[in-house]
Amino acid sequence: MIPRKLQVIVVLLVLAILAMGSYLIYLKRKAETVSAVPTSRPMTPPVSGPAQDVVLFIASDADDAVRPTTVSVAMPTDSSQRARVALHTLVARYQQKDSPHPLSDSADVHDVYLLDPSSAVVNLNAAFAETHRSGIEVEQLSILSMVRTLKAQLPQLARVRFLVEGKSSESLAGHLDLSQWIDVSSAIDACRELN
């Protein structure tokens, strides 16, 4: 006959093994559900290089203004990539909790294409347009701040076109016309009128 102490120890070990097994299954399921949920913010490759002062034009919903601010950002050497990083930094500012012009966490700029030194095409992701607040003022502030930020990075820029997922879009969120080229000098004048 097996001593009573040994029987108790064996039963406790079996129970510990079963508890650890069920806990491992729980952790595995939890890890699978976390990895299945996409992150709300798009991932961008890190930019190497020294940080530089970059001028961003920040929109403010409270007083319908677009004002310059300087931030320090690591910038690539390629002009279109510099423009994209500047716009991505602007969008990231709008995604912060204390943003003066809030945007969705999933809004982003896919690419900025330079057709020539005076013409740029900005490709927004679908979430930028789908989740953008509707209204002529907020849509105009978003576009004006992006155009002014681009102009600060690309001094020769004269016109900008916005696409959504690589396709022409009639509007951003139902009001502001995006089907045509935007004249940069007209955007600058509109910003001056707002301020």
Domain housing 18: 1-37
Q: Between vectors from CA 192 to CA 162 and to CA 151, what angle results, nearest 5°?
A: 40
| 45 assigned to some structural domain | no
Q: What percent of the chain has pLDDT above 90?
A: 34
Q: Are residues 30 and 81 in the same domain?
A: no
| Phi, psi of 194, rounded to the nearest 5 degrees | -70, -40
Q: What percent of the chain has pLDDT above 70?
A: 87
Query: Model pTM?
Result: 0.72
As a whole number of Å, the end-to-end CA separation of the chain is: 93
| 42 assigned to some structural domain | no
pLDDT at position 3, please?
85
Average pLDDT over residues 27-42: 65
| 46 assigned to some structural domain | no
Q: Between vectors from CA 65 to CA 61 and to CA 69, what angle results, nearest 5°?
A: 105
107-111, 180-184, 191-195: range with lowest mean pLDDT? 191-195
Model confidence pLDDT, tens digit, residues 9-29 = 999 999 999 999 999 998 888
Q: Are residues 68 and 26 in the same domain?
A: no
Q: Are residues 157 and 186 in the same domain?
A: yes
Q: What integer best gives the mean pLDDT of the chain?
A: 84
Q: Please, what sign has the CA dihedral across residues 93, 99, 100, 105? A: positive
Contact 25, 33 (CB under 8 A): no
**What residue has token string 């940080």?**
51
| 149 assigned to some structural domain | yes
pLDDT at position 121, please?
93
H or E element at residue 57? strand 51-60
Q: Are residues 68 and 149 in the same domain?
A: yes
Q: Give the span between the Cα atoms of 182 and 119, in whole angstroms.
A: 10
H or E element at residue 80? helix 79-94
Average pLDDT over residues 172-176: 65
Contact 73, 89 (CB under 8 A): yes
